[in-house]
Structure 1
């Protein structure tokens, strides 16, 4: 068993428990409410989705009530499970950092991390070449993250030290490394479609070309990495 000293930052257990308990109750309540008004809505000639409401209204009791409560609760559990899969926890060691999102682990060696900061809802690890090792969305408290990283001797930054170097991307932007403009075009389309997984993969491709990219309302901003003095 690994006995290394570490600090874990995760969402409070009470908050996690509330999600698991609350979403099934909320789902059951919503479907129970829809079942209650199904007959009334089905009688409105102008209301949309007449077919589903007529179908629900035709189900006899007590099966309609049992079904609405059961399906609503199951739907709430599915949503709670999706939230758990996307929940981020951070474990900070003297020797490195581990991100855990839904059982998917990412590890970063301490020698590669030059600084840590929070940019909005993003936790960012800076590399020694001024690039970004990671930019992860989370709802973790900034104060908890700062204490954890400082406790293990990492440099905690109040903001992005390179924020004034970002330029807004537009197709055909000069000064980009070969291939970066094409990747940014593809990434812009991924952002437009809401394909966050593809956008994250393209961010990693750009980082290998020495390009750091971030977005604001689907607009992309970029800067180049450089060696630290």
Structure 2
């Protein structure tokens, strides 16, 4: 589906809503408190199990009499939940959509992308906000913790080429090991990324995706399958490659 355009206006500011922030904090704190309660309930048993992680600390907790022991475990659980919420929000994305550029911030990182550099903007599922360059390569990929309708409305209002999905889906091909049209380095990185996906190592998989993009290889995945497309000179060099089922 192609981009739609509407009238431009003042810059649009996109950030995590207060409601979503409050919901995240509440959920993490409640779950943390539940874990603290469960810890108290099993602390005596856990302290008696050989090889139990943090056994010494659990033994100390088990010896604290009630109600102080229960209160302490609840406080530890709440603290753990609060830390999870803090870390989750630390890298939350804020986007400023302007007439001549897009500025997005994630934690301490700030990225400015000139409008002239952007050929497409789309939401990749519920996970990422993606910007494609004029060579169809990825300019930036940011964690999408924003309201999807607000994101779409902001980019369309400023006339950006916003798509409902990756506009190059039909160009992706299924990756299998040692494809001859890919360099040895690209195949090695894709193999490493396959393992990272299997191990649920999201950070490693993201880093490997960025490394592949530098080689002109753009990657998507569907479950445990990886798909790729080539950009620039590498795409022009490949002939006779038949597209496999593209991810959705």
- C-alpha separation in 1, matches of 2:157 and 2:192: 40
Once the 2 structures are TM-superposed, how far is the Cα of residue 203 of structure 1 from its aligned partner?
Answer: 1.9
- Structure 1 residues 36-75: aligned runs within 5 Å: 36=41, 56-75=61-80
Counterpart check, 1:78 vs 2:83: yes
- C-alpha separation in 2, matches of 1:36 and 1:184: 45
Higher RCO (Cα < 8 Å, 6 or more apart): 2
Paired residues, number: 221
Counterpart check, 1:92 vs 2:116: no
Aligned to 1:146: 152
Structure 1 residue runs of 4 or more that deviate by more than 3 Å after TM superposition: 36-39, 51-58
Q: Deviations over 1:32-59 (max 9, x none)?
A: 34424656x67xx99x96x687764432
- Report SS of the residue matched to 2:177: coil
Shift in alpha-carbon separation, 1:156–1:68, aligned structure 2, 3 A: same
Counterpart check, 1:195 vs 2:201: yes
- Report SS of the residue matched to 1:133: strand
Question: Can you give the 5+ residue segments of structure 1 that lack an aligned partner in the other structure?
Answer: none
Aligned to 1:208: 214
- C-alpha separation in 1, matches of 2:194 and 2:74: 42
Aligned to 2:164: 158
Shift in alpha-carbon separation, 1:198–1:106, aligned structure 2, 3 A: farther
Does structure 2 conserve the Cα–Cα contact (< 8 Å) formed by 1:177 and 1:209?
A: no
Shift in alpha-carbon separation, 1:153–1:11, aligned structure 2, 3 A: same
RMSD value, Cα = 3.0
Shift in alpha-carbon separation, 1:179–1:22, aligned structure 2, 3 A: closer
- C-alpha separation in 1, matches of 2:27 and 2:229: 43
Q: Deviations over 1:91-119 (max 9, x none)?
A: 21212222222232222221110111122
Shift in alpha-carbon separation, 1:59–1:178, aligned structure 2, 3 A: closer
TM-score under structure 1 normalisation? 0.81
Aligned to 1:181: 187
- C-alpha separation in 2, matches of 1:55 and 1:217: 43
